[in-house]
């Protein structure tokens, strides 16, 4: 096969990969939580509960005594986790010991919630705090962190405003942006690599 044919194949591969990359990015850019398979875990030292859910099937998705592992295992009345298209809301109850701020109570739990994407086609691009009501002690990169597939929310030290003893509820909404990972990317990169290789051979021939 001649160098010209090699180059034609490389260019074709690059263009095909680029077209698929653009098409996939456009079609997948609207990825949302709703309808997706998620693993929701509560985890602390020596203890873990996980629920596998399809987001948006129930409203809220996980709540007190709803038959789920987390709802039945650790949640109290009025607590829930609810997924919207690009956000997740936690309702948490201040039913633990006093917080460092005397106007607030802790949750009484020493662990974190972990939300895990089941899909292989998307990464979590960013997480921000959309709103927070009657709650303190939550900061990005401290209590709220993330990586490609997981959001971590440490609830061990946050405080819930004490309005009515024994029934204090705080709420926080985390906004999430997703990054598509099209399957066309390896094809485009391999085509570009081939094109560079053929060009180098022609230069030094």
Same domain, 16 and 116: no
Same domain, 22 and 75: no
Q: What are phi and psi for residue 23, nearest 5 degrees?
A: -65, -45
- pLDDT tens-digit profile of 48-91? 999 999 999 999 999 999 999 999 999 999 999 999 999 999 99
| Interatomic CA distance for residues 188 and 46, integer angstroms | 46
Q: Is the pLDDT of residue 168 over 50?
A: yes
CA distances from 89 to 22, 48, 197 (A): 32, 21, 51
Same domain, 140 and 190: no
What local confidence, expressed as pLDDT, does residue 57 receive? 94
Higher pLDDT, 184 or 119: 119
Instruction: Please tell me whether residue 199 adopts helix, strand or coil conformation.
Output: helix
- pLDDT tens-digit profile of 110-162? 999 999 999 888 899 999 999 999 999 999 999 999 999 999 999 999 999 98
What local confidence, expressed as pLDDT, does residue 121 receive? 82
Burial track 34-61 (b if 16+ CB lie within 10 A, e otherwise)? eebebebbbeeeeeebebebebbeeebb
pLDDT grade, residue 182 (50/70/90)? low
Same domain, 144 and 66: yes
Rounded-to-10 torsion of CA 97, 172, 80, 55: -150
- The stretch 103-110 carries a mean pLDDT of 95
| Residue 110 · residue 42 · CB < 8 Å | no
Split into its structural domains, the chain has a count of: 2
Q: Which residue has the tokens 């962190």?
A: 145
């Amino acid at each position: 096969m001649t160098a010209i044919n090699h180059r034609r194949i490389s260019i074709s591969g690059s263009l095909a990969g680029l077209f698929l990359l653009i098409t996939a990015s456009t079609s997948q850019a609207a990825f949302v939580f709703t309808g997706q398979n998620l693993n929701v875990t509560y985890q602390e030292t020596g203890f873990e509960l996980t629920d596998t859910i399809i987001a948006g099937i129930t409203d809220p998705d996980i709540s007190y005594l709803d038959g789920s592992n987390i709802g039945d295992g650790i949640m109290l009345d009025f607590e829930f986790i609810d997924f919207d298209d690009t956000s997740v809301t936690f309702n948490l109850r201040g039913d633990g010991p006093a917080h460092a701020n005397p106007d607030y109570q802790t949750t009484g739990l020493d662990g974190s919630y972990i939300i895990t994407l089941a899909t292989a086609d998307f990464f979590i691009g960013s997480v921000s705090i959309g709103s927070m009501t009657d709650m303190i002690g939550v900061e990005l990169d401290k209590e709220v962190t993330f990586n490609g597939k997981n959001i971590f929310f440490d609830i061990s030290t946050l405080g819930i405003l004490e309005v009515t003893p024994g029934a204090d509820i705080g709420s926080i909404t985390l906004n999430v942006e997703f990054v598509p990972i099209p399957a066309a990317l390896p094809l485009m990169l391999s085509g570009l690599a081939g094109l560079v290789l053929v060009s180098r051979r022609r230069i030094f021939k």
